[in-house]
Structure 1
């Protein structure tokens, strides 16, 4: 599962990409990153999760808020996350137009 990291105002955030088989969709998750081994950061518990369907172009991507507690997501991080979601939507739509969900990876 690939992910991307970004630092903002001294905090680290991660966007994780994985296939959500039960939903037949790509999941793009935003989390506050947690320290890993050494100086690395790893994705933490999801704050937001976008589902991007890749088998039916008629289905809309959706975004859900994860967890029951109130969390703050900085504007720049939200923009970065939504850019990642938009890129995944585009990859899935191009792959579907070309005839297969496999190309969306």
Structure 2
């Protein structure tokens, strides 16, 4: 009987751990979070390597394969280029471009 109770406790604990890793409508699962972090790193790297974008002023966040770009750029061309660079990264399903054009003064 004691062994059965211990087994039940272990099964319930493992079930709870697995449930905690699952995502819902407003949260990512552990696997989705890792995938999003990887995509974010790839997009940032691509922006840094692109000579036409100003990666230091562009913030990148990813949620369920959708990339959000925010921050400031100097021209509409830079805004469009940053979106194009992000879209070309493997794993990106959509891009939300919230960059603000603010010319140098």
Give 1 or 2: higher helix fraction: 2
**Rg larger in structure:** 2
TM (normalized to structure 2)? 0.33
**Structure with greater contact order relative to length (CA < 8 Å, sep ≥ 6):** 2
